[in-house]
Each structure stands twice: as structure tokens, then as C-alpha cells.
Amino acid sequence: MIGGESVATAVWVSNVTYMGQMAKKYGALAVVLEHRYYGKSMPTPDLSTQNLKYLSSNKWVVFGGSYAGNLAAWFREKYPNIAVGAIASSAPVRAAVDAMEYLGVTSESLGKECSENIRKASLEFEELLKTPEGVIKLRKILHLCDTFDGKNINNNHYLAEQMMWTVVGKATSDDSIKNVGKIMSDPSVGTPLERYSKVTEMIGSSICHDYHYSDRIAPLKNTTIDLVNFEMMRQWIYQTCTEFGYYQSSDLPNSPFGHNIPVEYFTQQCAQVYGPEFTPQSIQKAVDRTNVYYGALKPNVTNVVLPNGSLDPWHSLGILKDLNNSTIAVIIKGGRHCEDMYASTTSDSENDSNHKTGGPVFLMIGGEGMAFPALVSNATYMGEMAKKYGALAVLLEHRYYGKSIPTPDLSTQNLKYLSSEMALKDTQQFALYLSKKLSLEGNKWVVFGGSYAGNLAAWFREKYPSIAVGAIASSAPVLAAVDNMGYLGVTSESLGKKCSDNIRKAHIEMEELLKTPEGVIKLRKTLHLCDNFDGKNVNNNHYLAEEMMFTTVGNAMSKTGVDMVRGIMNDTSVGTPLERYAKACDMSDSTICHDFRYEDRIAPLKNTTRDPMGFQMMRQWTYQTCTEFGYYQSSDLPNSPFGHNIPVEYFTQQCAQVYGPEFTPQTIQEAVDRTNAYYGGLKPNVTNVMFPNGSLDPWHALSVLKDLNNSTKTVMISGGKYSHCGDIYASTPSDSEIDHFNKQDNRTFKQRYYVDDSHHKIGGPVFLMIGGEGEADTSRLSNATYMGQMTKKYSALAVVLEHRYYGKSMPTPDLSTQNLKYLSSEMALKDTQQFALYLMKKLSIGGSKWVVFGGSYAGNLAAWFREKYPNIAVGAIASSAPVRAAVDAMEYLGVTSESLGKECSENIRKASLEMEELLKSSEGVIKLRKTLHLCDTFDGKNVNNNHYLAEQMMWTIVGNAMSKTGVDKIRGIMNDTLIGTPLERYAKASGMIGSSICHDFHYEDRIAPLKKITIDPTDWAFMRQWIYQTCTEFGYYQSSDLPYSPFGHSIPVEHYTQQCAQVYGPQFTPQSIQKAVDRTNAYYGALKPNVTNVVFPNGSLDPWHSLGILKDLNNSTKAVMIEGGGHCGDMWASNPYDSESVKSAHKLIDQQIGEYLK
């Protein structure tokens, strides 16, 4: 599978794609290759126009879709000695500057009448733009923000373009086309423009639409490589400017989109984003060159299949007729873009690695979210059981969740097909299909599910006992209830009478304050609410109470969380009950005010557009609560600790507001009664079902808690070890001790790990990747890493262990300073030792030799684990390990200075001095703002803001200076006097100019996230934890205190050390930090650890090597410097393009591992 203009993932070689199915059928090796400049395949350190010049485009069959479809066909054309054939799906092989035919397909799909009505709407749109009165009317019809004045032609084009994209998206399925046609032909809706507004979903939102062309362009000017969000638009637009065009204009005669999207709107962007050398003429020449080189619609190629969808506008640039006997074109009637690439099955995932002939089938039924393959892996208890019983493990995604969407949108009309009954029928049909497909007719099926999917598991056994012989229904709330008041009753019981009573007093206090303007002002101060909260909107008040309630409920689902809430709520020294509640709900410590607007809660629920990524679920789930379950967690229970602030009416009203007036409290009650009657409520007519529940899980209030018969059993898991669906997860070393060094403390937590035994042979070694300051995932075990390659060579068991307080391995319910005392390298090493002993026992590998790996801080841990626990680890690979702790790590920037060279560093130093000088006067600050494109709020008076600005510019330079191409780029700019003063050059080198949006540097924005003590399971930023470790163990503060530092005096060590006190408390002083650093160095040995059998690789361009071991310590503890190498570069797998220095490092590591394992 050839990658195109996005990140490459393993999904493309899985059985959810048609290529994956064919690979299985033909016994083929399935491979996906990521495209340069997309995903993580970045040849250069940034995406400057200068660097983007490098962006061009056994028996092997190549596959690809869209642009990658072009590549597949062209690869067969240009390299027929390698590829014997190609499947080029939805491939727009003809480049065209003005791809006006694209919208012609959309027009044809919609039909003449609908297209004519859209054209009338476009003409009405253009007419209204001609006068101020017209613009006011246009704002009203399209619900535009008041900032839209119609004077900026690019803003007008941008608005028209975005509306057009909505229509194009809807014109890719027959049902959606009919819906668009129905609205556009209905005069009762209003004028053509009013109908068009409805079709493009411009009306119905409580938030106005804001269209600024600058917001479209700004991200395209960002030259920084984003490895988190995988933003690829800058790269793709560059390719349109230099190869393809593909600009979907409305220039076609009688286009339904009028004159609102001319081709010039697109071509101008090339010059605006990449430079003035990109002109309409240069773009046309590039397109002509592409067509000549590849042959456009007549490529000189054989053995290619070119599928296209009739509803896909891209087919207007594709090959629609056979070129020869072996180059075949096929049109899929009613087909969409790349539709043929998906597997010809329902949405399922299979794991057959443990399946034995005749073995059972374990089916995980999907619930109200996306289905992930991890749910059938050994990270789940079902996965463990599949291995034990030789079962085929299968996961089926629920209709309307993830990517299994039956309808083109999520309108109320379409959601009528969403119900538990439909889902159960899907499951039955799927089971019959899979039984036939895989010849499983005689195999026994056991179904699993958690939460709502736990209901489905039990109900599937009830309704289809001929298929499922049993079910495991974890945390299943089988009793539907409109007013689920018992939910908060469980929370109240868990917290205890005293704590609950104090929360109740807090709510009474809150209700009282809401009665007067003075009270609201006090409430705003206590809860740190934004000034727009006035207490007058009852729904806003309920929303505030609801969010605080859910924070409390979340904490009360674990024993440690219960202890935390009790500790705060029962401590009168904290303040009034409401002040305590504010602290318990994490409302009081943020520097950013809390904004609670009910409309912000409702607006996303009204969005009927499908999420192509599959993560949207709340509109669907809320619909099911309105039509089947209720489940509304009200505070209506007598003496509820949450007072009268969350009545059931607060929830039921949302059904009507979101889905229509036909949803009333009466209809919801009728729906709930119908559900209970159909499934049996707490007394389902079922056998062979297990109902596990957690005692701290509020959902158990609606579950079966007593055995129903001899084969339908219940089990209550007491205490804080498991809560909602806790039994679903694998029996990992969840008993890792929170405090290893306090024998009186027997609390434990679940620590995540992954195992890959695909290369392991009995008696083989164990390679353990120790996790560091981030989330652990299976990619660290793959053959994309050097450890993964060594795993295969040495037939090792590959394991990764997540570090406590990172990822999902959280020992405590929050990240308060009090709780973070359990976060240290010493605790992490003890975790690793205990885990190793656990795994030896669990997998019977007591005689296996262990080698530990790690990079950066985790490189330290690898070396220190070998030092402290040599009886377990026979050796360690400690990549880029800064083993010497240092408060003032000034040498760090010394490496950067050395990498950049004397002339460049001197110019940066002059720039830093120029910046310091400008900060001394108000006139200078104005000049600095202009030079660095800073926002007007920057006044130079706040020294912390100044340091923060200097720090962020420094980081851009450091990041670039970790590669040879980056060094060359910085040198090229900083040493070019034609660009301007040293500061003007520095502004360019650090990416401060070129954006249409000013740069806003507020030190408080840096500090605020660090003060957040709440654990957010969706947030992978772990800076609070890591900064804590710098304050308590390592320092590592990259100051500019080195004499003659190129960064002047702008980043003193005090800029960092003060943060320890500001974030974690006044007990953290420069003196306490220095003592902590000294203690770390004394305990581990700093640059002279007492250790054998360790390799310390470092990169010469990596500033962290200034704190690493650079010389051999003894015959078995080796250091190796990779010339031109960056941070942890040796950890990636070997490839033919590696430098000789990397190859030498890998050779040494391989040799040493061989020695360790003798």
C-alpha cells in the first residue's frame, strides 16, 4: 500500500481493507509505505518552502487510493520491473489547474432542479454582498458573526467555499442527495438562499459562524513539523502548487455555485504561502509537466485496475475507459471516493492468533463508542481467556458509532435506525455471516461487553440463545430509568455521611448565593467563574452543578479518590463547605476562569454531520437515552448531597431541544417502560450470564446484584481496585504498590504494560523497554525500533512497561503535590523490579535473561536498573541518557552553540542583546513587537513574559539544530545580512514572522497547565508530572547562563526554579532543588555509576549529551557518539540510509547484547 497525503497506519494492511483481505487470500506479505513529508517520514527539520523542494512523487502488486492511487498507477508505469500490477482507486491522474469539472460531477449527482436552486441561492448571495443592507441580511440568513462585513473578497470566497464543501460531502450518497434535493425544492423553507443555508447547516447553531480568510491561510504558513496532530495541509497544498493544481473552482458555465469560487482564489494562495515565485504561470507549467511526464489520461501502462465511484467528483480527472486489455476502468454506480478499498464485510476486527480448530468464538460487542482492535488483544481479560481456551477473538462495532454509520448524516430522521434491538439483530446477522465465512458452524460463541455493551451481551444471550452459549455482562445497567437518582446515591454512600453532608451544605450555599447579584459575584470568586456568568440563566446554573458533580463522581470511583474528596471536604481549615467543594472539584487553582454556558453543552449535540474519523458519539448516545434508556443522573434523591441543582427535567428537556418537540417527558417514560418490558429489567429471562459490578461504580444501582438462577451469577468487586468495567481489563500487575518503601501502606494501582511474543522461543531472552515521561504503546515493540529488530534476531520476548504517573498508569486520583510524592525514579525502578518478578512467575520465564532498553530519561532508568538490580538485568542499552543531574544545565545550550558554529552563534547573541536593549524602552518594545510580530498585549514590563518569549524562540533554534539540515538552515538565515539586523534574522530563523496571527506570550499560559491537578484520560500531556521530577530529582534547567551564550541573559536559571514554588508550593526553593539534585547524583553515581554491561549511545547534535557518559567506563560499559545524530536516534530500526556512524553504533549494541546473553 503506497502512502499518500496523510499519516500511514497499520489499519491499511489489516483485514478492514480489501487489500488486507486479498493478502490473506493469496498468502501475501502486506506492507504500507508512508509518503515522504507525511506522518513521521520527515526528511527535513521543518516545512519551509526551501525544504519542500524535496517533495515529489517476490512479485509486487501496489495499491493506493486518491493521490496514492496515482502513485500506484505511476509506479507500475515507471518501475514495471518491480510491480507486476497496480490497483489505483479513485485516482485523479490528470492534473488540472482549474478542476472545474469536479463540481460538475456534484451538480450532475444532485440533478438539474436541485442544482438550479443552488445556483439561484449563489446569485442571491452575490447580490446581497453588494450593499451594507444586503450584508446585514446575509449575516442573519447564514447566522454569520457581526465581524463579517462583506468587504473582504477573500472572506467572501472562503465562506462560499466552505458551504460548497458541505454540499459536496452530502452529494456522495443517494439518501443524502435526496435529502438535499428535498430541502432545496421546498419553497416553504424560504428563499433559495434560506434553503441553501439549511442544507449547509448554517442555521440551527447557537454560535455564530466566523469566516476569516486569514484563519484558512495561517496554518498553511506554519513550517513546524507537527508529530502530534499529523497536520499535512501545508505539504499537500505545496504539491498542488508544484505538480497538480486540482483547484475545485466554480468556473464551469452555469455552475450551481455561481462566481463565488474562482480559480484565482486558490492560485493566489501559492504565492501567499510559499513565496512570490509561485505564479499562475508557474503553476500551469508545473501541471503541464506532470501531465507530459505521466501521460495524464493516457499513461503508457499495463496491468492496472482503475476503480472510480460515480458520485465521486474526483472521477472527473480519472480514467473512465479501458486503455488496453490489461488496464481496466470500472465505475461503481452510487460509489464514493475510494469506496472499493474497504473490505467487503461488516465492521469487524478479528484476532485469530490464539484460535485452534474447533475452538470457541469470543465476541466483544461494541457499545457507544469506536471499536478498537485493542479490545481483542491480550490487554483485555477476554484476550487472556481467548489464549487460554484457544478461541477466535472478534470485535463488532455498534451501528452509528465509530465508522459504522448506516446513513449519510445523523439527522433525527436517520437516527430512528439506532436502537439496541437493531444492534442485537446486527450481531445475530454478523455471527451467521462469520460462521459461514470461516466455517465456524459447530463452534460455541460466548459474548462479552461492558456498560451499555454489557447490556447487549446479556440481552443477546437472552434473545439469541441458539447462537451464544453464555455472556459476560460487565457493569451492565440493565434497568432503564428516566430518573436515575440511585446513581448519585451510590456516590453518596461511597463518600460517607460526613463528606456527603458537607457537599450538601456546599450546594445549599451555592443555591443561596445565586439568589442575589452580590451572591453571584461571591460565587464567581469562589469557583473562579468567568465574568459572563450572571446566575440568571437556570440552565447555566444546572450545567455548572452537573460538571462539578461529575468531577466528584469520577474521583469517587476509586478508593484513593474517595480518600481525597473526604480529606478536602471534611477539613474545615480549607474554608466554607463551598470553598472546600471548589477545591475538591479543581475549580480554584486555575489561572483561567471557568466558562459554563449551557448552549456550549447543547451545540455539539445538534451537529448532524458524520465525523469521518469516527470519534463522535454524544449525539447518538443521547438519542438512545431519549428513546430507550433515560439514565439521567439527577440529584432528586431525598437528602442528595448535590441538592436541588440537577433535576431530571434538566436532562429530559434536552431531548426536545436537540431532536425535536415530539420528545417529551411522557414519550421518554413510555420508551423506558417499553425497554424494561422487552428485556425484563432486573429480571431478564436468561441463563449462563455473569454480571460483574464494582462497589464504587454508580452504575451498579441499575444492575443485577443477586444471582437469578444456578447459571446466571453476580459478583460485586469491593473497594478501589476495580470500578466501572474494571474486570474487562487483563490481569496485569495491578497490584503495583503505590509506596514501595512504606510497609504500612498496602494500596496498589494498575500499571500498564504490553507484551509481544511473536518472535519468542522457549528459553529466549526478555527485552524490556522501560517507559519514561510519556505514554507507553505497542509501537515501541515493533520492528520500527532497533529493539524490535533485536527481538527478532535473538528470539526474545518484547515487553514495554509504562512509567507510574504517565499514560494510564496513575497510582492516585489526582496530581496534587501531596500525591506526586510517590513519583520518583527510585519508585519507578522498584516498579520495574516487581514487574519483572511478576512476569517471570506469570509466564514461567524465570530462567530467561533480561536486557533493558530506554531513551532519554528512560535511558537513565535502563542504566540505573542494571546498576541497582543486576540480579535481574544482565545488560542495558541507555540511549541519550542524561545521567548527571544538574540544576543549571547551561551546557545544554553550549552544545547547540557548538553545532551552529561560531559565526551563527555570535549573530544569535547579537540578536539576543538587541532584544534585551529594545525591552528597556516603550519605543523599543513597539519596535520589538513589529519585528517579532507580537500581539499588542505584549508591553515588555513583565519580566516573566520576556523570559518566556526568549525561551520559546530558543526552543525553535534548538529543535532545528538537532539535525544537519536544520543546522544548515539556521546558519543560512543568521549569516545572511541581506535579511536585516541580527534580530530580524533571528525572528525569521525562529519562525516568528510569516504568520497572519500575532504571537501571544503570557507566562501565566505556561504555568496554568502545570497547576492542573485533574487527571484527563484524553490528554497525553504530562508536563506537570515531569516538571515535578525536575524539581525533586534532576533540575535539567536549560538556562542561558553559560558565558558568551548565544541566547544572552534572557533565560536565567531562576526563570525555571521559581516555577517549582509557583506550581507545587513554597517548600520548593532553589536550595531544596539543589539538595535534591545532589542526592540524585550521590545515589546513582552521576557520570561514574558503579555499573557493568551498559551501552551509552549519544548524538553529537543532541544537547542532552552534555549530561551523558561520553567515554567507556570499563570493558563492558561502552560509550558511543553518533556523529550528526540527534536525540535517541539509535533507537529507530536500521535502514539502508543510515549514516556510517549510526551503523557503527548499531553494530556495537548488537555485539554487546550478544555478549550479555552468553
* Domains of the chain by start residue, with CATH: 10-93+295-341 (3.40.50.1820), 98-287 (no CATH), 348-479 (3.40.50.1820), 482-679 (no CATH), 731-883 (3.40.50.1820), 887-1084 (no CATH)
Alpha helix segments (H runs only) across 774-877: 786-794, 817-820, 825-843, 857-868
> What pLDDT, on the 0 to 100 scale, is given for residue 230?
38
Confidence of residue 30 (pLDDT cuts 50, 70, 90): confident
| Cell numbers given for 761 | 522461543
| Cell numbers given for 232 | 499535512
Nearest of 141, 200, 142, 203 to residue 176 by alpha carbon: 200
524-527, long-range: CB within 8 Å, 24+ apart, which pairs? Answer: 526/578, 526/579, 526/582, 526/588, 527/578, 527/582, 527/587, 527/588, 527/594
Task: Answer for the pair 925, 918: CB distance below 8 angstroms, yes or no.
Answer: yes
| Cell numbers given for 1010 | 502545570
Nearest of 1116, 1099, 1035, 1025 to residue 1073 by alpha carbon: 1035
How high is the mean pLDDT of the chain?
89
Task: Answer for the pair 63, 19: CB distance below 8 angstroms, yes or no.
Answer: yes
Measure Cα distances from 264 to 103, 260, 285 in Å.
Answer: 16, 11, 16
SS3 for 693? strand
In which element (H, E) is residue 540 found?
helix 538-555
Report how far residue 330's alpha carbon sits from residue 316's, in angstroms, rounded to the nearest whole number: 13
Task: Answer for the pair 773, 1025: CB distance below 8 angstroms, yes or no.
Answer: yes
Task: Answer for the pair 71, 244: CB distance below 8 angstroms, yes or no.
Answer: no
Report how far residue 352's alpha carbon sits from residue 272's, in angstroms, rounded to the nearest whole number: 52
> What pLDDT, on the 0 to 100 scale, is given for residue 995?
59
SS (H, E, C) 1011-1043: HCCECCCCCCCCHHHHHHHHHHHHEEECCCCCC
DSSP string spanning 485-498? THHHHHHHHHH-HH
Report how far residue 986's alpha carbon sits from residue 971's, in angstroms, rounded to the nearest whole number: 10
475 pLDDT more than 90? yes
> What pLDDT, on the 0 to 100 scale, is given for residue 178?
87
Q: Which residue has the cell 560509550?
A: 1119
Confidence of residue 798 (pLDDT cuts 50, 70, 90): very high
Report how far residue 508's alpha carbon sits from residue 578's, in angstroms, rounded to the nearest whole number: 9
411 pLDDT more than 60? yes
Residues 6+ apart with CB under 8 A from 241: 269, 270, 274, 278, 283, 286
CA 829-831-835 angle, 5° bins: 120
The residue ranking higher by pLDDT, 216 or 191, is 191
Task: List the single range of 510-519, 1043-1052, 1147-1156 with lowest mean pLDDT.
Answer: 1043-1052
Confidence of residue 28 (pLDDT cuts 50, 70, 90): confident
> What pLDDT, on the 0 to 100 scale, is given for residue 87?
95
Phi (first) and psi of residue 175, to 5 degrees? -60, -45
| Cell numbers given for 134 | 444586503
Alpha helix segments (H runs only) across 404-496: 412-415, 420-437, 452-463, 486-495
> What pLDDT, on the 0 to 100 scale, is given for residue 348?
46
Task: List the single range of 300-304, 663-667, 717-721 with lowest mean pLDDT.
Answer: 717-721
Task: List the single range of 376-385, 963-972, 1110-1119 with lowest mean pLDDT.
Answer: 376-385
DSSP string spanning 929-976? HHHHTB-TT--S--HHHHHHHHHHHHHHHHHHTTSHHHHHHHHHHHT-
Give the pLDDT mean for 650-672: 96
Calculate the CA dihedral of residues 63, 69, 74, 77 and round it to 10 degrees: 50
Residues 6+ apart with CB under 8 A from 421: 678
Confidence of residue 347 (pLDDT cuts 50, 70, 90): very low
SS3 for 1156? helix
pLDDT in tens, 365-375: 999 988 866 67
1126 pLDDT more than 70? yes
SS (H, E, C) 1059-1111: HHHHHHCCCCCHHHHHHHHHHHHHHHCCCCCCCCCEEEEEECCCHHHHHCCCC
Percentage of the chain lying above the pLDDT 90 cut: 66
Report how far residue 655's alpha carbon sits from residue 665's, in angstroms, rounded to the nearest whole number: 9
SS3 for 482? strand
228 pLDDT more than 50? no
Residues 6+ apart with CB under 8 A from 27: none
